[in-house]
A and B are shown apart, each in its own frame.
Chain A
Amino acid sequence: MARGPELFKLEHVTQRFRLPQGDVTVLNDVSFTASEGEFIAIVGPSGAGKSTILRLISGLLKPSQGQVIYKGRPLTQTNLEAAMVFQNFGLLPWLTVAQNVELGLEPRGLDRAARRKRVATYIAKVGLEGYEEAYPRELSGGMKQRVGLARALAVEPEILLMDEPFSSLDALTSINLRDELIDIWSDRDFPVNTVVMVTHMIEEAIELADRVLVLSSRPGQIAGDLQIDLPRPRDKRDKAFSEYVDKIFSLIA
């Protein structure tokens, strides 16, 4: 997808948490700019602050130092233009698939008819027709994550945040969901065009993203910022692909 104007940026963001045994610095002076239309993957070791960056972009967390600028303005409250997909799906077990997908819509002021329509549209987009009245307990992991994705997409956010969306799925299911995500994302009438995905799998980052940000171990700092110039669909067995893998690996290690 073509790279557009600036959507958001982190400016010298440092994040500390107060713990009983003292303060910990989780992110240290992190700066980067994201453009509209980019698919950015963030990789880095456990505890590097990857999820923290997503929470900062969603406005759920205020930086200890520095600021998050969204569309030219400092972000001071929950970012209603962002929607999140979680590793553990984040579904409410007592609600059906359709009700879970509808969850994010009410706070955004859509009336009932508009909500229904959105729900139907995004359930179809992720291939969940037929599951509308199923409960999460009746679903496989792959279907649960489709619900998570449909719920995030249904709000038609400007930016989609995904925190290790495939890591609690088995190997084959995650192949399937990555494949379908590419399918959805390359669709012309896909409303979202900017994605930030956290992963600890380097190959997954290279397969999906236009750009990979590499975080060093705690406190997280930007250790690398790479454009992935490979045509899609990408093949792990390509030489150029494995060169990216090696490069990112050496940046983390």
Chain B
Amino acid sequence: MDKPGGTTHAAANESNQPLPQIGISEILGLVELLRAKGGREDIYKLARELQMEFGDTLTVIRAAELLGLVHTPGGDVEIDKAGDEIGRAKIGDRKGIIHDQLLKLPVFNTLSGFLKEKEDHRASRDEVLEKLAELIPNENAEQTFTTLVQWGRYAELFGYNDDSETFYLDTEASA
């Protein structure tokens, strides 16, 4: 079910792509629906069936594509190997797959590296926003920030405390 030529993400080499405002649950729902449909569906039909705006449907599909879970040949959306795996996985095993997919994205990879390099494995919200502005120039970093926190938390790539506005490597969250 992979794209010809390998499993590279559509966006993996575009380091300056902002993150869409889409939650993990929607992406998982899309993957589950596609699996139930045999792995592939016309995007227009999918939007109609879900009674969603075409543009909104496309935004979810793009988010899943960014995560390497689906790709979009022609006007269709088709599930990828990682998408199929996550659809089949139990709740507890889904995080690991998203974790691995996120690390293929420059924004997450850079941020995770940044936290690892820091002595206390922590960074403030402002530091992260600064990093984001470097990674995704010409974009409103705040917009990407929400998704960054949501996806990163889900995958346990890093934690974020909104009271102290601090990021930390998630291995330390269980303290």
Contact of B91 among A139, A140, A180 (CB under 8 A): A180
Given the known interface contacts A130-B154, A130-B173, A133-B159, the answer about A173 and B91 at a Cβ–Cβ threshold of 8 Å is no
Docked-complex contact B32 and A176, CB < 8 angstroms: yes
Closest residue of chain A to B164 (Cβ to Cβ) is A133
A140-176 vs B: 1/0 string, CB under 8 Å? 1111000000000000000000000000011111111
Cα A127 to Cα B26 in complex, Å, equals 14
Which A positions have Cβ atoms within 8 angstroms of B? 124-127, 129-135, 138-143, 169-177, 179-180, 183-184, 233, 235
Residues of B within 8 A of A183 (CB): 90-91
Tell me whether B91 and A184 are in contact (CB under 8 A): yes
Chain A residue numbers with a CB within 8 Å of B94 are 127
Interface size on B, residues (CB 8 A): 33
Which residues on the A side are within 8 Å of B162 (C-beta)?
134-135, 138
Interface contact A176-B29, CB-CB below 8 Å: yes
Within 8 A of A (CB), among B111-153: 149-150, 152-153
Q: Which residues of B contact A125 (CB under 8 A)?
A: 91
- Residue of B at shortest CB range from A125? B91
A139 to B85, CA, bound (A): 25
Which B residues are closer than 8 A to A by beta carbons? 23-30, 32-33, 36, 50-52, 60, 90-92, 94-95, 149-150, 152-156, 159-162, 170, 173
Contact A130 B32 (CB under 8 A): no
Residues of B within 8 A of A138 (CB): 149-150, 162
Say yes or no: A130 contacts B95, CB within 8 Å: yes
In whole Å, how far is B34's beta carbon from the nearest beta carbon of chain A? 10
The interface centre, meaning the residue of A134, A170, A172, A180 with most chain B CB atoms within 10 A of its CB, is: A172
Inter-chain contacts of A172 with B (CB < 8 A): 25-27, 29-30, 33, 50, 52, 60
Q: Which residues of the other chain, A, contact B153 by a CB distance below 8 angstroms?
A: 130-131, 134
A129 to B156 CA separation, bound complex (whole angstroms)? 7
* Contacts across chains A and B counted by CB atoms under 8 Å: 88
Contact B92 A235 (CB under 8 A): no
Please give the distance in Å from B91's CB to the nearest CB on chain A.
4
Closest residue of chain A to B149, judged by CB?
A138
CA distance A179 to B52 in the complex (A): 20
Q: In the complex, what distance in Å separates the CA atom of A132 from the CA atom of B27? A: 21
The reply to whether A175 and B149 form a contact with Cβ atoms under 8 Å apart is: no
CB distance from B29 to the nearest CB of A (A): 3
Cβ of B29 and Cβ of A171 under 8 Å apart?
yes
Query: Once the chains bind, are B173 and A126 in contact (CB under 8 Å)?
Result: no
Choose one: B32, B92, B173; the contact of A124 (CB below 8 Å). Answer: B92
Closest 8 CB pairs of A and B: A142-B25, A172-B29, A140-B23, A176-B29, A175-B29, A130-B156, A171-B50, A130-B153
Q: List 25 A-B contacts (CB under 8 A).
A: A125-B91, A126-B91, A127-B91, A127-B92, A127-B95, A131-B154, A132-B173, A133-B159, A133-B173, A134-B153, A134-B162, A135-B162, A138-B150, A140-B26, A143-B25, A169-B25, A170-B26, A170-B52, A172-B26, A172-B30, A174-B29, A175-B29, A176-B26, A177-B25, A235-B36
Residues of chain A contacted by B29 (CB below 8 angstroms) = 171-176, 179
Q: Take A129-B156, A173-B25 as given contacts and tell me if A179 and B32 are in contact as well, using a CB distance cutoff of 8 Å.
A: yes
Q: Which of B36, B51, B94 has the most chain A CB atoms closer than 10 A to its own CB? A: B36
**In the complex, what residues of A have CB within 8 A of residue B27's CB?**
172
Please measure, in the bound complex, the distance between the C-alpha atom of A171 and the C-alpha atom of B32, giving whole angstroms.
12
The complex places the Cα of A233 from the Cα of B37 at a distance, in Å, of 13
